[in-house]
Amino acid sequence: MEPDVISVKDEQNRPNKPERKRFTRKNLCLLLVAALVILTVLLFLAVNIYHTPDYNELLTRAKLAKLPESVKNLQVDTRPFMSKGREVPNQGELFIGFQAEPNDIDSFINNSPIIDKNSFRPLPPSLDSDEDPAWWPTDQSTSGRMYVFREREDIVGMVAVYDDSNTVRIWMVYIVNPQLRDMQNFLEDLKDSSDDFFDNLLHEVQDLFD
């Protein structure tokens, strides 16, 4: 008789079929909602125009002053940002080089809020790099100064001034589309939430059949 008692207790402890069906339908609905949210986000990303800003737009966004009126020999190169030989999504790199009158260069530095004036340091020797534009100066002159940008999430960079030739170099790495960055962060948060959800769901399903 004892085996029959154990069998009855096991049957009492097991969830009945209607409860399993309700559990399954509830979680299927949650999965469907999550899938719809993901599809909506992906659709938004697909139709969003990948806009590459020109250098004037970047100067404004970075809160750099307008280039001096005495500018000459202006050179600009805008490209995707590369890291370890791979293109980093939604990040760009900007190189600007020009010459101008010394007073205009000082005004440009002083009127650019993003430039940290306290970061002034002697200009280190330039290093040749195959990743730099062909026109990027490679002289070893140290008669100058360098400033870095104030800390920001969307832009990092520096300004180098060669006083002996009145040459300015601007280099920055920037977020191409801040909205895309926000969506990327949202997708990462959504992925983390989905991972937690599926992990909890798996444990609940396993508990049902234990």
> What is the token pair recorded at 193?
């939430």
Alpha helices in 48-141 (DSSP H): 55-61, 102-110
Give just the sign of the alpha carbon dihedral 195, 201, 205, 210: positive
List, in sequence order, every beta strand (DSSP E) within 52-122.
72-83, 86-99, 121-122
What number of CA atoms fall less than 13 Å from residue 139's CA on the CB side?
A: 14
Edge-first strand order for the sheet with 86-99 is 72-83, 86-99, 167-175, 155-162, 144-148, 121-122
Mean pLDDT, residues 31-50 taken together: 58
Is the pLDDT reported for residue 63 higher than 90?
Answer: yes
**202-205 contacts: CB < 8 A, separation 24 or more?**
204/23
Give just the sign of the alpha carbon dihedral 94, 99, 103, 104: negative
Contact between 97 and 137 under an 8 Å Cβ cutoff? The reply is yes
* Helix (H) or strand (E) run with residue 170 in it: strand 167-175
- Where does the pLDDT of residue 110 fall: very low under 50, low under 70, confident under 90, or very high at 90 and above? very high
Please give the mean pLDDT across all residues of the chain: 76
In the prediction, which pLDDT does 157 show?
95
In the prediction, which pLDDT does 82 show?
84
Is the pLDDT reported for residue 8 higher than 50?
Answer: no
Contacts of 91 (CB under 8 A, 6+ apart): 80, 81, 173, 174, 175, 176
Is the pLDDT reported for residue 161 higher than 50?
Answer: yes
Question: What is the domain partition of the chain in residue ranges?
Answer: 2-48+179-209, 55-176
Whether the model clears a pTM of 0.75, i.e. scores above it, the answer is no
